[in-house]
Structure formats: C-alpha cells, structure tokens
Amino acid sequence: MRIADFRVHPIAIADPPLRSSYGLHAPYALRTIIELQSDAGITGISETYGGDAQVRQLEALRSQIIGANPWRLTGLLSPMVEGEGAGNARSQSYLVPGENPLDASTRTFAAVEVACLDLIGKTVGQPVCDLIGGKVRDEIPFSAYAFYKHGGGGGEGDDARPDEYGPALTPDTLVKQVQKMIAQYGFRSVKLKGGVLAPDLEIETIRQLARALGPQTPLRIDPNSAWTAETSVRVGQALAHELGGEGYLEDPTAGLENMALVRQRLQALGIGTPLASNVAVTSFADIPRSVQLDAVQIILCDHHYWGGMRQVQHLARLTRVFGIGLSMHSNSHLGVSLMAMAHVAAATPHLTYACDTHYPWQSAEDEVVLGGRVAIQNGCVRIPDKPGLGVELDYDQLARGRDRYAKCKYRKRDDEAEMRKHVDPNWKRILPRW
C-alpha cells in the first residue's frame, strides 16, 4: 500500500466568544483536515490545529508522504517527535495551544500519524484503538467544559449562530450553562475555565456548581496560570472540599517552581487536591523537573501536540511509573478530532480521568463528519465497531469549511487581539493577574 494523494484542507468553524486568561475566542476557530489516500483508493483522515502556518508545515512534508507506505511513514518521520530538539521544553504560559512554534513539529507529525492510522484501519477493517495496542474500554468519559462567555454563538455576519448557551459572566449563569450542557450530553464531571473573573467569583462559581450538582460530580478549575502562588493556595484552600474526589486544580499558577510551591503549601494545610497541567508541562522535556519538584500530579495529554497517539501512550506509561495521573486536554474541534481523542483514550489503560472536550461549543452546521455530529451520551463517546476512526468526511461540509476559511479574515489564533477588539482596547495577558 502506498499513499497516492495527500490533501490538506484549512477550515474555519464558528466558535462562541469564550473567555479564558489568554483572552477571548474569535468568532471562528481554525482547524485543518488532512486526507491521505492510498493507491487502493481508501482515504485516511485526521484533524488538527488550523491556520496558514499549520498548512505550510503539513505541505512541507508532501514529498515524504506521497509514495510512502503508511505503515512505515511514522518511522520515517520519527525524528519529528524523537529527534534532538523535538522534546524541547515548551511552556504554554504565553502561547495558546496550536500557536507555539516549539511544538510545530510534534503537532504536524501527529496529524500525519492519525491519518495513517485511520487509513490503515480502514484498509484492514480494524478500529484505530486496536492498531495501537487494543481497546481497553468501550466508552470514553468526557467532562463538561464550562466557560465564562459573552453573548453570541460564534460566526460572523450572515453566518452568525444563535447563542445556544447565552452569556455567562456570573456564577449563576455559569451554573445554568453547565446544567444545560449536562442535560444535553450527560457529562458526569465538570471543568470550569477560570482565570477570567476575580478569584472570589470563581470560587463562588465552583461552590454553586458543587451545590447544584452534588458531591458525585468531580469538579475542576483551570485558570491557565492566572494566579500567584498565594492566590492559588487561597483558592485551593477555599475549594478543598469542592475539588476533592476526582477533581483537580489545573495550572493555577505559572511555572513548575510556583506549581510545586502551591502543592507544598496545600499539603502543609492537609489539602490533597492534585495539581493538573497542560501549561507548565506540555512536553516530555518538562517532566524530569516536574517529577523532581512534584509540581504536577496530573498531566493533561493531547495527541494533537504531544506527537500523536503512540507518544500519548508513552506518556501514559511514564506518568503511571511516576504516580502521576493522566487526563486529556482539548481545543475547539470537530468530530474527527473527537474520535481520535476517543480512540487513543480507548487504548490507553492509564487514562482514567474524564477527558476535556470543546465539542459542545461547536455546531452541527460546521461538522465535517458524514452523518453529522458524533454522539456524546451519558458524557461518553462510544468507540464504534467500525474501521479506522469510525468516521468519514462529508465533502460538502468540508467545502463549506474551506469556503468559510477563505472568506474569514483569521489566519491564526490570537485571543489577546480579540479581547482588545471586543472587550478592552488596552487588554493584555498579564501573568499573574491575581
């Protein structure tokens, strides 16, 4: 089997005005859909971060991809994830995921790896999870991912979407958002994107969530490093009960040293709440120091930028060895990414925390998966008994996404610029803010 064609589709998808400490989501999120077509006419697909730079990085591999055996291509390209420099430390404190040049190579490799695995799976009639070690679970639990947001459903002009969830810039509106999301998808755990309101308001939000949802629902909060170590300890202390069980406190503060300090001080107060991270630890190179300091107790993997599914599995084994938990990070994405996330989770025994997903924030109008959106039921994605990722492309929808990409003015993600445009002309990402 050889790869006869390689197609790269930049698309834009409507994204609501979600807030985080990075700023504000633009009306469109950018994604890239990849197709690898074999000489037998079978097509493997994947989805990754978007924008012109991502497209260029993928196109730069064209000569290595065309004519390659998809079973072997990942070995040929392995220097992109295993070579010198590929494992460089790369804090995401200042750069949103997908815009960090230091992970361009692992991101690009991952997109190709997943498309190869889908192509292989569709060729041999096996699901992707069974190509990478074998399915260990049928259903992958995801979390409700709650965001403080402005009014609006995403999209621009004629393409503007109804605001399904409404604005949520207070604790009580945020709770309503989560309740609506749980009613629709059955999520059994909740992550709140924090670092947006003053810490006391975010504490109050988590408390109201805990009251509304009861102790059986694990709660997590992720301010993306917006707080000082001091504030982090104060929040951790205030929410010691609410973030218990399978809850966690994610990247409260910037840098491994600060994270370690927060951990130590919480432990000294008798508070065991684990610290999670996809900002302080975003690459293998960050791990030795993190282990040494006990800075992070749960790592959020993401095959999109850790270098693909097999690298996530390596990470899983490593974290298990060092007694570190494993959860999964997400970004605005469509069903192809969701299925890839589900497959890697299905074949990774140690991935026991519910995964993040932005999927509820995207809409059916933008879905490129044939047959429409992937179902999330009881908070879970079920691995279908189908080859590859289990989904195919809807080429009309893909064309719409490409068209929207061509028409919209966004070529990379810049949450800070959006914030300045819509909220505060002087806004800057300040770390720590509180």
Chain residues binding its own copies by CB under 8 A are 69, 71-76, 78-79, 82-83, 87, 124, 126, 129-131, 133-136, 284-285, 287-288, 291, 310-311, 313-318, 320-323, 347, 349-350
Which residue's CB is nearer to its own copies, number 233 or number 281? Answer: 281
Under DSSP, is residue 406 helix (H, G, I), strand (E, B) or coil?
helix
Which residue's CB is nearer to its own copies, number 169 or number 285? Answer: 285
CB of 359 to its own copies, least distance (A): 25
Choosing from 25, 149, 191, 193, the catalytic residue is: 193
Q: How many CB atoms lie within 10 A of CB 300?
A: 27
CB of 346 to its own copies, least distance (A): 8
CB of 117 to its own copies, least distance (A): 11
Residue 329 annotated to the active site: yes
**404 with 11: CB under 8 angstroms?**
yes
**243 with 209: CB under 8 angstroms?**
no
Which residue's CB is nearer to its own copies, number 137 or number 373? Answer: 137
| CA–CA gap between residue 293 and residue 205 (Å, rounded) | 30
Under DSSP, is residue 216 helix (H, G, I), strand (E, B) or coil?
coil
Which residue's CB is nearer to its own copies, number 17 or number 387? Answer: 387
| CA–CA gap between residue 294 and residue 414 (Å, rounded) | 32
CB of 76 to its own copies, least distance (A): 7
| CA–CA gap between residue 44 and residue 2 (Å, rounded) | 12
Which residue's CB is nearer to its own copies, number 226 or number 381? Answer: 381
Choosing from 329, 333, 350, 358, the catalytic residue is: 329
**140 with 409: CB under 8 angstroms?**
no
| CA–CA gap between residue 350 and residue 425 (Å, rounded) | 44
Give the bridge partners for 237, in sequence order. none
CB of 189 to its own copies, least distance (A): 23
| CA–CA gap between residue 198 and residue 202 (Å, rounded) | 7
**357 with 142: CB under 8 angstroms?**
yes
CB of 279 to its own copies, least distance (A): 19
Residue 193 annotated to the active site: yes
HEC readout, 18-61: EEECCEECCCEEEEEEEEEEECCCCEEEEEEECCHHHHHHHHCC
| CA–CA gap between residue 30 and residue 198 (Å, rounded) | 29
Which residue's CB is nearer to its own copies, number 249 or number 260? Answer: 260
Residue 101, preceding bond cis, omega within 30 degrees?
no
Residues involved in catalysis = 193, 329
